[in-house]
Amino acid sequence: MFTSRADVALAIVSGALFVLSFPKFGHPAFGWIALTPLLVALTGATLRRAFLLGLTTGIIYFTGTLYWITGVMAMYGGLQTWVAVLINAGLIAYLALFPALFALITRRIVMAYGRSVLMAAPVVWVATELGRAYITSFPWELLGYSQVTVLPIAQLASLFGVYGVSMLLAAVSAALAFAATARRWAPLVAVLAVVLAVAVWGSRRVAAGEWTRAGEPIRIGMIQGNVDQGQKWDVTRASAIFQDYVNLTQQAIREGSQLVLWPESSTPFLFEENLPAANVVRTLAEQARVPIVFGSDQIERGRPDRYFNSAFLVRADGTTGGVYRKMHLVPFGEYVPFQRLLFFAAPLTEQAGTFSPGLNPELLPVDGHRLSVAICYEVVYPDLVRQFVAGGSELLTTITNDAWFGRTSAPMQHFQQAAMRAIENGRYLVRSANTGISGIVDPYGRVLAQTPIFESAVLVGEARFLRTSTFFSRHGDVLAYASVVATLALLVVASRRVK
């Protein structure tokens, strides 16, 4: 049994390993051992201490991966720095409750069943990750995302989604912890055999690249306007910003684009309210016979008016072909949850207003095909993107404005999480970001092209409309939901078991 200080040190190491598993400071290798120190620390801990150890790991985990939120709120949200720090600390503490719950449940079932049940820890981990996604609506940097660039392993997401990859990594950590505390190696050998099998299968899947030759190709131009967030809604800059987008679009068309994609909220005006500027976009599409998809805020007049963060499609004939309204809004960015209670955070949404969520996963028609648009952080929701594909989306697009994040880890984190959606659903993913990263990802997670951040750019590349499907796109997060059921069953039996 470890001393109290050693337990805490191990929990801290686990938190640090989680941080080091993600960009821009880390390496995917750390993800395989991130849970091991915490699981070792749980040996002999009381339930209360297990909870606190998990909380310690979680606080470091989320502080290191979400540190950038403080700067966003202070610089662009109109909050004093100390208020921004407090709000971000509250969010981090809230998210840390889920690793704490994982540690509590794991310790409880080990007390009931014995140390061998430590190998059930991956099931519990995935159950708490799913809980975090649904309860907090902030599923940022799940453990499985650490392997997006490790393509042979990431292919597991085509079967079981990002949660399946999380489970595989947690299984290695659990087997290492079991070997370290019980001096029994058989589970570790078995888990490593599974990892090897997944890696071999995944390597062959990527090498075969069957879906890169299927479907119908289309050349897409991604426009990266690189508009400073401080100037985005400056009325004196609106005309110049808009003209830059027009010029970049003309360049993309000259380079052979058959579809042009602008970023989130790219028009420095409301598309449906500013008819002269809107007509410029319509004329541009009509003259070139090229459809344009772009982000623009939308107002639904009423009492009161309702605002939506939307994506518009202007067809090749200049008419509006469809509108998608963002369904998952950013808390403290597009609305303030519990606004009456958190009155001090109201400046975060005062300038842009409080947005309303869209209700339907609308698809946009392009040349006899249908594509989906995930706006900004919506792309981190596996089930939403799967709904698009289940509804008939043949191409995943995502538009975003990551100017808020500056040169922090967030733009890289965001891009990698978007890439996971391509693997899960067997679709090309095309991303247009105001300040980058814009890029194209194939159905196996290979980044075919991408832009640097904070540069004005036009990126033209080939994607494909696909109608194939993966096990995940057909069945969703069955493994994650099964993990919740299994965790609850273990707890129920453990509560009746006298040890």
Catalogue the active-site residues. 264, 326, 376
Which residues on neighbouring strands pair with residue 296, listed in sequence order?
A: 310
Residues 6+ apart with CB under 8 A from 37: 10, 11, 13, 14, 17
Rounded to the nearest 10 degrees, the angle between the axes of helix 81-113 and helix 47-66 is 140
List, in order, residues 6 or more apart from 394 with CB less than 8 Å away. 215, 369, 370, 371, 427, 465, 466, 467
* Number of residues that make up the chain: 499
Is 462 in contact with 212 (CB distance < 8 Å)? no
The answer to whether residues 60 and 93 touch, using CB atoms and an 8 Å cutoff, is no
Amino acid at 218: I
Contact 221, 259 (CB under 8 A): yes
